[in-house]
Structures are given as C-alpha cells and as structure tokens.
Amino acid sequence: MRFIYRFKFFLRPLFCHNTMTAVRRVFIFAKVTAWVIAVSAMQGLAVDAYAQRLNLVLKNASLEEALAEIRKQSKYIVWYEEHVLDESKRITIDAKNVTLEDALKLVFERQSLTYQIIGKTIVIKHSEGETGAPNPVQQELIEVSGKVRLMVNGMPRTSAGINIHEKGQRRMISTNSAGLFTVKVPKGTVLVFSMVGYKSREMRIDSAQPLDIVLEEDMKDLDEVVVTGYQTQERRTITGAMAQVKGAEFENMPIQSFDQAMQGRMAGVLVQGGSGVPGGPVKVEIRGQGSISAGTQPLYIVDGAEINAEDAADNITASNPLAFLNPEDIESIEVLKDAAAASIYGAQAANGVVLITTKQGKAGKTSFTANYYKGITEPMPLMEMMNTQQYLNVRMEAVGNLNPDWSYERVRTEVLSQSQLDVTLTDEQIAALPTYDWQGAAFRTGNTDNLQLVASGGTERTTFRISTSLNRTEGNVVANDFTRGTVYLRLNHDVNRRLKLMMSTNLSSTVQNGSYRSWGSYSYFSSPQYTAPLMLPFLPIYLEDGSFNAPIERFPGNLPYNAIHVADVNTQVARTQNLLGNFSLTYDITKDLTFQSRFGLNYRIYDTEFYIDPRTQEAYARQGYKSFRYQPSTTFTTSHTLVYNKTLPGGHNFNALLGAEYRDYHMQRGGGSAEGFPSHQFRYLSSAATILSLYENNTANKRGGLFSQLNYNYMKKYMLSAVLRYDGSSRFGANNRFGWFPAFSAGWDVSQEMFARDIEWMQQLKLRASYGETGNSAIGNFAARALWDGSGSHAGRPGTVMVQMGNDDLRWERNVTTNLGLDFSLFNRKLYGAVDVFHRRSADLLISTPLPWTSGFAEVYRNVGEVVNKGLEVELNSNLVRTKDFKWTSSFNISFLRNKVTKLYKGIVEDGEDIDAPIVEQDVESLPGNPGIRLGWPLHTNFRQQYAGVNAATGKPMWWSGHDRLSYSPGTQGSGSYTPYGRGNRLSDYFGGFINTFTYKNLEFGIFFQYDMGRELYNNSNGPFYRNGETQSNSTARAYNLRWQEPGQITAFPRPIDGGREVLAESMSLASSRYLEDASYIRLKQLSLNYKVPGKYTDRLKLSNVEVYAQATNVLTWTKWTGYDPEFYIDDSNFSSNTGQIPQTRAYTMGIKMNF
C-alpha cells in the first residue's frame, strides 16, 4: 500500500514446516506484540497530538488519498487491510485549521467504515455489522487444506510446484507432488492459486472446508482476436499463414516508418532498408519476388482503408510513402502471407497483405502521455582512403606502367602536372604535402528528436484518442535530413447497443532533404557520400577564411568541383502532405448478424524541388538550373460487409461473410524545368531566362469486387475455410477485365483429440493446409490500351500520334499458393511457434515483349512467363524463465527461400532485309536488356564475365574464357572469347531475427539480432574506389596496400596502369565478376534498456507512470562486404548496384515517457 505502513504480515499464522524459520517468526511476533502493547499503554501521552491542526482541501478524492494526506500532515501511521477500502466513497472536504479528531470525523462521515486511534496509529476497519475483514487483533485462524490440479488438454492433472499465496502478501507455499497443500490463514483471507501458463484463481476462505481447485490453461495468445481482413478471428481457429508484430515491440524505436519495425521480426517477411536516408524507401517482400515487371510491394491497409504505397522515388530523391504514419500510433501489424489468408483481397493480394491497426482510447478518466527521446546518429565505419603521398605514388606507378620507357623524372613531372602541382617539388616536399579528409567532410554525426503528446479516455459509450508528434532527424550525410509532424484522432462511439461508429483521421506533413540521385552527365557523382571520398586528397576543402574552396575553374583530376560545396548550396527537397481518413458504421441486426460499412480516403500531395546553384561549376555556365514536380493523388475506398456468426449445439461454429468493395484512384502530375536565373536568391520560374520544359498529365484507375468467406470449426478442433472473390479492374483489356480468386484451407488441432490429452507437455498441435489464388495488377494504368500522344504534328500543325499498341486480352498476373503449416505450444507455453512450408507459382506474368518491326511498334504488354518461389519458415517463441521478479522471453525466426524462372516467352526471329520472309518464334533464354532474368535461373542472377584474378608474373588481370582456360585481353571489348557466367543473385537464401528480452522487476533489457544471408551483389562503389591510380581520383588504402608490385606476388588487385588499359575495359565496361561480393550479414540491430519508476515515487509527482529508456540501433555488423554497408535498397532497374548509397546509420537514443 503506497506510503502506508501495514502490520498484517506479523499477524499471519506462524505455522511453518521449517523449525528454525518458525522460531524466528515467533520471536519477531513477540517483539512486535510487545511494541503494540507499549504503544497502547502510552496512548494517554498522545492526547496533545489530538490538538494538532490540519488543513484538508479535497475535491472528489478517494478515501485512500484522504488518508494519505492525513498521514502526511499528522505524521500518524495509518493501518488497514487491503480490501477494506474497496467500497469506500469519494470525498469532497474544505476544512482548515481543524483537529485530527475533527478531520477524521469529516472523512468518515459518509463511509461504512470506522476508525480507532491507538497511540500514533490510526486503524481503519469495517463498522460493526458490516462485512469484510475483521480487526486484525480479533482475526480467527483457519486451517485450510485441499488439492490443486492443472487442466491439461481437457483433463485435470496433479502437479507439484503450484504456487499459493495470500492476496497482497509475499508469503508463498507450493503444492507437493500429489497437488496437496495445507495452510493456516485468518478468516476472510483471499488465497491466490497460480502457475506459469495457467490462469490464476482466487478463493475467499471463510471456513475449513477442503478445497478442490482446477486451474485452466492460459490460452490468451491462442484466444487472442486478430485482424484477418474484413473481420477478426480467434488465433487458434485461423487456418491461413499470418504473422503479427505488436506496437509495443517497436515502441520508442528511432524509425521514420513502420515498415522498418517489421525487419527481422516476422518469418517470410524480408525487409531491406533503402539506405541511411532519413525517411527513405524500404523494400518489403513477402515470400519472395513473384513478378518481373509488375509491382512486388504488398498491399497496405490502415484501419480498413487502402493506402497508396507506390514508391515516390524519382531522379531527385527517394521518399518513403509510408513515412506519413507515426509508428507510435500503431497498435499492431498483421501480415497475411498465404493465399488462404490474403485471397479475401483478391486481385491486390499476390504480394501479401499488411494490415495496420491504430491505437484507440479506453473508457475511463482522461489520461495524458508525453513521450520524448533524443539521440545522436553516426555513419557506419567509413573506408580508409589513400593519403596524398600514396595517391601520388600509385599515380606514378600507373603512368610508368603505361610508359615503361619514360624516366622517373619524366613520370613524376607528368603526374605533378596533371595534378596542377608545382613540377619542381622535390620528393621531400611531396612527402610534406597535407592530406584533407574529404570523406569525413561528407559524413557527420547527426541528431534525432521525437516528441509525442497523447490524450485518451472517454465513457463506456464514447472513447477518444488524440495524438500529435514531431520527428526531426538529421542524416549522417551533409544536407540530408527529415522532418515529420503528425496529428492523429480516433473516436469510437456506441450510439446504442446495436449501432457503433468509428472515425479516425491522420494528418501529416514531411519534408525530406537528401542527396539527389542523378542529373545531366554527372549522374551519381552529384552525391557527396559517393563523390567526396574520390576527391584528390591534397586539395583543400575550405580556404583560409573558412569559405569553400570552390573555384569556377575545374579542379584537377576526374572530379572537377568541390563535392561538399555542391551539397551545401544546391537544393534537393521532397515534401509530402498526407490525409488519411476512415469512417465505419457497425450495426448488429441480430445477435448473430452484423452489417458494417467502411469509407476511407487517402489524399496526398507530393512535390519535389531540385535546384543547382549558379555558384557551382555544374550550373555556372547555365546560370543555375531548376526542376520541380507537383503531384496530388486521391485514393477512395469503400467496403460493405454482412457477417453471420452462429454456434449450434454440439460445438458447431459457423462464420459467414459477404461483402462488396470499390476503389478509385486518381493522380495529377505537373512540373517543369528552367535555367538562367539572375542570382541564386531568385529561383522562381518567372525569373528564369529560359523555360526548358513544362508538362502536365493525369492518370487514374478503378477497381471493384465482390467477396465471400465461410469458416467452420467443430469444438475448435476441426476447421474449414473457403474464400471466393470476384474482381474487376480498369487496368486490363476489355476481354479479361474481371477475374475469380478462390482459396480453401483446413485445420486440425490434434491436441484436442482424446488420445492426445494424456500428453501433459503438449498444449496445442494444430496442422494447417491451404490452397488459393490471388492476383497482381501493379502495372501502368493504361498498359492494355492503345495510346495516342498530343505532341505530334502534321504539315506544320499540331496533331496526335499513336505511341502504344493495345492488348484487349491482357489480364491479371496469377499467384497460386499451396501452404502446409504447423502451430504448436509445448511445456505449459514455455515453447510455442509455427512451421510453414509453401510453394508459390506466379503465372501469366505481365512483361513487355518485342513486336515485329512491321507492326510499327517496338513492344507490347502480354501475359507470359512464370516464376516459382518455395520455402520454409520457422518461428520459435519461448518463456524460458518466469518468476515473480524475473522473466526471460525469447523469439527466433528463420526463412529459407528458393526462386526460379520457369517460363519466359517465345521471341520473334525475322529477316530484316526480306520483308516477305516468314516470322519465326522461338523460346527466349533471357529478357532483352536484362540478362539477369534467365530461364531456369533465379531472378536477378549475376551473369557477368568471370574474373580469374591477377597473373602473378605480369600483374595483369585475367578472365575465364568460354573454353575454361585463362586468357588475357589487352583492353578492347572484342578481344578474346568470353561466356557470361551465372554467379549468385540479389535474393536472400535465408533471413530472420533473434530477440531476447530480460525483465527484472521494473527493469527490462532487450537484445535483437537480425540477419540476411546468401545475397551476392555487384559492389559498384568498388569500381571507382579500387581504380588505384588508373584514373585521376582517389582510391582506398586497401587497393593501395594489396596492389600487384612485383613478379610472383599473389593478389586480387592488378598493377596500376594509367587510363585503365588493362582493367577498365574488362572489369567496368564488360562488368565482370571482379566486384561481385557476398552481401550476407549478421547485425546486432538493437539494444534496449527500459526502467519503470516505482509508483511510490511517481505518486509524489501526481503521475501514474514514468518510464525512462535508452536504445542503440545498428550497433555491430558482421559481414564480408567491403563497401559501406551490405544492406541497401535495390530496385528492379538497378538490381545489384549500390552506386551512390548512403549507408545505414548507427543511433543512440535516450528518452522519457510520462503518463498522468
């Protein structure tokens, strides 16, 4: 009891099986008894204390609060049994300068309680005739015995170690091996019977009658209701494959979007961070990649409303469209993985479905929450670059190897001249030249701040939750940051016992400043994180006055400008304003039949601005350059469902759903570009000398569907489910605009069978099987239609021209998924989890295929090709230790994945010279322009010239020829005969995570490992970073230290040669396997520490809860990857390159959360 001293421990029975313990307790009891007698004898001495004056001003306060105030002012001890105040009434008093006696009279005036002052102790008890615990001095001891059993698979079993204790007390005993116990307690005591994995049970003791207690299994995880689509369902009756992450698991994490929180926490769900750009894109793939040219992102549903999750990436920056939603507002995330679970969403569910449920208020007194964390971010370990002396040394080697007849003096003069250094410098003066850390200037230590304020509460009929948040994250690359502000409101109102209303609104605004990806001929070299390390190390970044060393004239070398200056003065910004609104109406027509209508609106404005300052060499001649884009979009979704639930005698449970849905998406896009601005301070188009381009267009699509679902279970033992959806979409041809998507699943909980009930260590063993079809329509809105363009002309007049051939037979991509699963719970829920095996066949793939040249068009979309994904998923969870003060929980998941292209299409072979020659079709081995898509191989396999290392005698690079012999090409692409060799791909072989949480009293510590294994990627950054003197740009110290220097040396780095005569043509132009690397990694993803401040301290501050916490993310990484970071975003057009990558950041945060 807070701030109140209680004696009832000493008034308990002193019976104990241990003799010494009993003796000690008798001794303690004797001392306390003597103390109480002495206090009573001195009661008369305390008369003066009654004259003590108190001031009591209480408004609607509880009796407990009133007594605490009396104790505080009078310094008297207040004693009472815990349950005595259960039915006390609230008090309003305004009494000043009153005696203790008068104060107590006012407090107990309307209470069914009385009090007695004994010395300096105020004893509270029930009034005579009232029920409740008697005065502890008068308590009667009762000897109680009995048996406690555990319900195991429907059968009661005896067990040792079942805990028994008096409610509110620490004293505890346990049952023996026969489940028997004996204990003496005061009459009216409440005994609590408990066991890990079982529901606790309380029993009030009023007589010595023997007890027979049975504890039921605590199946709260199995009985938990989870969102499965348009309705909820008990977890134990689900027959599809799904995964869940609760909001509490990623609470307080320094992330900008909720998809980051899914990484490593769900089997079968691969999450890859795009980069370390705050608010940058994240790639989510569920059970592999099932499409070649259509989308691979899952469908996202927030509180029943679909949101547009298309990547907002362009050639300026890359933004995450999911960053609008504050992760702290999320209650849970469910992922529907197989067709049985996802087919209710039909044509949009081929890549899985992610269901987000936001938090809602709870009935009761309004509560307020303030949560703030602050932290620092730092980049992953940077690469060690060559210093000035190493750079000049390797350049001399490169020039000398190209010109072996030149003298040392001539080589040195040539290198110094190219570097715009004084050619008369001596070797001693060269050794004294400074080295400037360009890479360090491009990266920095960033800051992150996050503040959230929440108010929630309500009545039994109306609840609300309002939250507002502000996140500000400074990236680890200069001129790179993210800001988001959100306001979230959710209202739930029960109009009457049948009609319920729900409304939620999320308003957000995000601003992302980041390194742009390409412009003009400089492409990725405009990114400081990529360009700065390559700058010549002897060039100063700043002048002596602190200004940038940014002459309009070219810098020496391949990089003609100051990369840090460019990042500082150029503008690269993306802004997003987002409104997500949901409204639902639920009406219980009967107790078994429910109707629900949902309406969702997602309105988004996305605009970008890209400005190249005229003070940079890039845009000096053009007097500045600017491009912009403005893109508003609207997604409207509405669905209407009827749900029927019926339980028949004998344990037959039916659930039926019938519904209809409509979705309308519309987007406008406008933008332009200009150059020739009067100064860098005037950057509006109206002040530009030349408008280079202006454009405006819009696009739209519509989709509608009818769906139904029937679920049946018998005693939650045998389960059957069937789903049928009929969808139509405007994206497809007139002949195939509609499609059917069925699914069937079944489950059998073996643990509920009679023969399994004798297995005490097994609480659940459920087998699942499913088959279903889903669709994918993530292609262009008008891919099936013949398109005309209005930019044509005829005879000097405006006209139109046909630019795309239509295909009226174009239809959905079709995913056929088979799944076998096992759910288990063992050893009183100490070990539980799931195992799934799946086969996913993606057919009728939407691919742009070549047309005969006689058609007048180059290509047309057709349904061709097939990809197969198959895999194994394992989830293991455990409650390893669970005692009163200490808990240890663990969670592990791993997913194995295999992928293969099993079908492409028949290509066209025609004679371009003979127009009358017949057109012949034959199976293609790979997609034109994309050799990584090849029949019989996994998607995105690396087909490249196979690098064979360095000739130890000459230092020249070698490649394997098509005849399996070593050969050397002197620098021309046509030299030698080479066969591309398939080696590795960007798809993971297996991935997952491992989480451990340790809780001791109020302290919680968590450690989270995440891993991604089996990817082989082209480390494009190593091309420039490993050129090692071949060009006039800096390289890594690793390339310098390992370069070939003398005959007989075994190394992977060829000899330097100016212009890359021996390396660039083969290694870069032919893109050999030299830079293919193992991108597997294991990462210590998160360390967390949380401390909940005890109530006795928070009460003094009038706070109901205070938590302080600290976290570290991306702490350590184990990998063979030689670039910045092995985790980076890979899109379909750039499937194995990390060019211009901003590495992931390491963050350290501390925060405080207060409730009041």
Measured CA to CA, the distance from residue 867 to residue 841 in angstroms comes to 6
> Would you place residue 54 in the very low, low, confident or very high pLDDT band (cuts 50, 70, 90)?
confident
pLDDT tens digit string along 943-997? 877 778 888 998 888 877 654 555 554 443 334 455 667 777 888 999 999 999 9
Residue where the block lists tokens 């009041």: 1156
Tokens, residue 487: 């306001």
User: In sequence order, which residues have a C-beta less than 8 Å from that of residue 497 and are 6 or more positions away?
Assistant: 588
> Would you place residue 782 in the very low, low, confident or very high pLDDT band (cuts 50, 70, 90)?
confident
How is 976-1020 classified by DSSP, letter by letter? S----EEEEESS-SEEEEEEEEEEETTEEEEEEEEEEE--EEE-T
Provide the 3-class DSSP secondary structure of residue 109.
Answer: coil
Confirm whether 19-135 and 140-218 share one CATH topology.
no
Measured CA to CA, the distance from residue 962 to residue 976 in angstroms comes to 9
How does strand 886-903 pair with strand 906-909?
unpaired
Measured CA to CA, the distance from residue 618 to residue 171 in angstroms comes to 78
pLDDT at 776: 87
How does strand 121-126 pair with strand 77-79?
parallel
Measured CA to CA, the distance from residue 899 to residue 936 in angstroms comes to 10
Tokens, residue 916: 């009358």
Segment among 418-427, 569-578, 721-730, 902-911 with least mean pLDDT: 902-911
> Contact 474/449 with Cβ under 8 angstroms?
no
Angle at 1083 between CA 1082 and CA 1086, to 5 degrees: 150
Provide the 3-class DSSP secondary structure of residue 432.
Answer: coil
Measured CA to CA, the distance from residue 380 to residue 945 in angstroms comes to 31
How does strand 981-985 pair with strand 941-944?
antiparallel
User: In sequence order, which residues have a C-beta less than 8 Å from that of residue 712 and are 6 or more positions away?
Assistant: 652, 653, 654, 655, 719, 720, 721
Max CA pair span of the chain:
126
pLDDT tens digit string along 604-640? 999 988 888 888 887 888 899 999 999 999 999 999 9
Tokens, residue 895: 């997913």
Nearest Cα neighbor of 1 from 91, 89, 80 is: 80
Of the spans 180-184, 410-414, 521-525, which averages the highest pLDDT?
Answer: 410-414
Provide the 3-class DSSP secondary structure of residue 642.
Answer: strand
Burial class (CB in 10 A: 0-12, 13-18, 19+), 990: middle
Measured CA to CA, the distance from residue 733 to residue 581 in angstroms comes to 32
pLDDT at 40: 41
35 pLDDT higher than 60: no
Domain boundaries, the chain: 19-135, 140-218, 886-899+986-1017+1078-1156
Segment among 194-208, 302-316, 453-467 with least mean pLDDT: 302-316
Tokens, residue 958: 């070698």
Nearest Cα neighbor of 240 from 650, 658, 706, 774 is: 774
Residue where the block lists tokens 């005829």: 794
pLDDT tens digit string along 131-175? 444 444 445 678 888 999 887 656 687 877 788 888 766 566 778
pLDDT at 964: 52
Nearest Cα neighbor of 829 from 193, 167, 213, 224 is: 224
Mean pLDDT, residues 48-74: 77
Identify residue 408 by its one-letter amino acid code: Y
27 pLDDT higher than 50: no
User: In sequence order, which residues have a C-beta less than 8 Å from that of residue 730 and are 6 or more positions away?
Assistant: 700, 701, 702, 703, 737, 781
Q: Residue 817 — φ and ψ, nearest 5°? A: -120, 130
Nearest Cα neighbor of 1042 from 1057, 1058, 1032, 1054 is: 1054
CA quadruple 1054, 531, 1118, 284: dihedral sign: negative
3-state secondary structure 853-874: HHHCCCEEEEECCEEEEEEEEE
Tokens, residue 416: 């110094």
What mean pLDDT, rounded, does the chain reach?
A: 82
Measured CA to CA, the distance from residue 644 to residue 950 in angstroms comes to 72
Mean pLDDT, residues 859-868: 88
Mean pLDDT, residues 243-255: 87
Identify residue 580 by its one-letter amino acid code: L
CA quadruple 428, 432, 433, 435: dihedral sign: positive
Q: Which CATH class is domain 140-218?
A: mainly beta
682 pLDDT higher than 80: yes
> Would you place residue 1037 in the very low, low, confident or very high pLDDT band (cuts 50, 70, 90)?
very high
Tokens, residue 404: 């072996």
Query: What are the Cα distances from residue 40, in Å, to 8, 32, 36, 78, 624?
Result: 17, 12, 6, 15, 93
pLDDT at 312: 43
Q: Which CATH class is domain 19-135?
A: alpha beta
> Would you place residue 224 in the very low, low, confident or very high pLDDT band (cuts 50, 70, 90)?
low
Measured CA to CA, the distance from residue 1038 to residue 1029 in angstroms comes to 13
307 pLDDT higher than 60: yes
Segment among 275-284, 387-396, 662-671, 1029-1038 with least mean pLDDT: 275-284
Measured CA to CA, the distance from residue 550 to residue 617 in angstroms comes to 8
Query: What are the Cα distances from residue 39, in Å, to 28, 67, 736?
Result: 17, 21, 93
pLDDT at 311: 47
pLDDT at 1064: 54
User: In sequence order, which residues have a C-beta less than 8 Å from that of residue 8 and are 6 or more positions away?
Assistant: 81, 136, 169
Tokens, residue 438: 């360009």
How is 569-585 classified by DSSP, letter by letter? HSEEEEEEEEEEEEEEE
How is 1022-1051 classified by DSSP, letter by letter? HHHHT-TTSSSS--BHHHHHHB--STT---
* Count of C-beta atoms within a 10 Å radius of residue 477: 27
1101 pLDDT higher than 90: no
Give the rounded percent of residues in the chain with a pLDDT score beyond 90: 39
> Contact 188/133 with Cβ under 8 angstroms?
yes
How is 739-758 classified by DSSP, letter by letter? EEEEEEEEEEEGGGSGGGTT
Tokens, residue 114: 């009385």
46 pLDDT higher than 90: no
Provide the 3-class DSSP secondary structure of residue 1129.
Answer: coil
> Contact 136/8 with Cβ under 8 angstroms?
yes
Give the rounded percent of residues in the chain with a pLDDT score beyond 70: 84
Measured CA to CA, the distance from residue 191 to residue 143 in angstroms comes to 13
Tokens, residue 758: 């004798």
Q: Where are the alpha helices (DSSP H) in 419-495?
A: 427-431, 438-442
Q: 408-418 and 388-402 are packed helices; what angle lies between their axes, rounded to 10 degrees?
A: 120
Angle at 253 between CA 248 and CA 255, to 5 degrees: 120
pLDDT tens digit string along 456-492? 998 889 999 999 999 999 989 898 899 999 999 999 9
CA quadruple 984, 990, 992, 996: dihedral sign: negative
Measured CA to CA, the distance from residue 237 to residue 654 in angstroms comes to 11
pLDDT at 319: 67
Tokens, residue 940: 């995105």
Segment among 546-560, 883-897, 1119-1133, 1142-1156 with least mean pLDDT: 1119-1133
Measured CA to CA, the distance from residue 351 to residue 97 in angstroms comes to 73
Burial class (CB in 10 A: 0-12, 13-18, 19+), 393: middle
> Contact 1085/1117 with Cβ under 8 angstroms?
no
Q: Which residues pair with 747 in a beta bridge?
A: 719, 768
Measured CA to CA, the distance from residue 522 to residue 561 in angstroms comes to 11
1069 pLDDT higher than 50: no
Measured CA to CA, the distance from residue 537 to residue 336 in angstroms comes to 52
Q: Return the C-alpha torsion angle 1023, 1024, 1030, 1031, nearest 10.
A: 150
Provide the 3-class DSSP secondary structure of residue 1120.
Answer: coil
Kindly state the DSSP code that residue 442 receives in the 8-state scheme. H
